[in-house]
Amino acid sequence: MRFSRIFIPIILILIGIQALSAASLRWDRIEADLEMTPEQENIRASFNVTNEGEERIRISRIKTSCGCTGSIIDRKILEPGDSTEIIATFNKGKRQGMNRNQLDVFIDSQPDPVATLRMNVKIPRLIDAMPQIVYWTPTGNRTERAVRITLDERYVDEVTKIEFDQTKLDVVQEADPEDRSTLRLKITPKSYDNLYRGTIMVHAKGSDGRKAEAKIMTFVQPPPAS
């Protein structure tokens, strides 16, 4: 019992020291919003931190939320008044759209991160289909399905070809009179009584010859055999 009475205040003192260490770190920012171009394979964001406390602080590790995200740190040990730069790196791979990643920064003797740095990366969809999957089931409505095709006119501005199995589907194109970057497709199976799985490919290009494509998956599930 006597040991416990001594041990608890020590723990509280250590927690207080750790909290002060975390509070003494001043960040120039903790969130970065970035947008990639179609040609970029990776992108970086810089975060700067300064030790405004009176004790030395050591950054022990940086944990990333995704294998596509990494970090480079200029220096790990910060004397009072010292600053360091953490560079967050993001590799695109086959990703598209908005990608939100984070880096948790840890210092010595503290189990919880002292800061969470956020990196929001927008990867342009040159051509986007919404929805990307259309289907018909025996209990669903036997009606056409509409898909909206949107072009990012910074990169592509013309739909050049739409490929599909004309023996299985009817696909009608409709331009949006209010938005020239948008095209609507009305899709109808030629038969609701036969199983079908297929793909509609929409191709587009830009004035500089850049090409892009979108894929729409189509499924028809027929009623069970009687």
pLDDT of residue 5: 54
Q: What is the mean pLDDT of residues 131-148?
A: 95
Q: Is residue 47 part of a domain?
A: yes
Residues 151 and 112 in one domain: no
Same domain? For 149 and 209 the reply is yes
Closest CA to 109 of 20, 8, 28: 20
| Residues 94, 112 share a domain | yes
Question: How many structural domains compose the chain?
Answer: 2
pTM of structure? 0.74
Expressed as residue numbers, the domain containing 85 is 28-123
Q: State the average pLDDT for the chain.
A: 89
Tell me, yes or no, whether 88 and 140 share the same domain.
no
- Say yes or no: 169 and 104 in one domain: no
Looking at the DSSP assignment, which residues form a beta bridge with residue 199? Answer: 217
From 93, 123, 153, give the residue that closes a domain: 123
Are 114 and 163 part of one and the same domain?
A: no
Asked which of 123, 157, 191 is the last residue of a domain, the reply is 123
Same domain for 135 and 51, yes or no, is no
Residue 154's pLDDT band, with cuts at 50, 70 and 90, is very high
pLDDT at res. 226: 67
* Contact residues for 17 (Cβ-Cβ < 8 A; gap 6+): none
Does residue 68 fall inside a structural domain?
Answer: yes
Cα dihedral value 138, 140, 143, 149, nearest 10:
-110
Q: Kindly list the strands in the beta sheet with 133-136, ordered across the sheet, starting from the edge strand earlier in the chain.
A: 133-136, 211-220, 196-205, 158-163
Which CATH number do you get for residue 131?
2.60.40.10
Residue 191 and residue 149 share a domain: yes
Per residue in 91-107, pLDDT (tens digit) is 999 898 999 999 999 99
pLDDT at 10 over 80: no
What is the share, in percent, of the chain residues with pLDDT greater than 90? 81
Res. 1: pLDDT tops 50: no
Quick one: 180 and 96 in the same domain? no
Residue 150's beta-bridge partner residues?
128, 182
pLDDT of 83 higher than 90 = yes
Q: Is the pLDDT of residue 21 over 60?
A: no
For 168-190, what is the mean pLDDT?
A: 91
Pick the last residue of a domain from 99, 123, 147.
Answer: 123
pLDDT confidence band for 109 (50 / 70 / 90): confident
Q: What is the pLDDT of residue 31?
A: 98
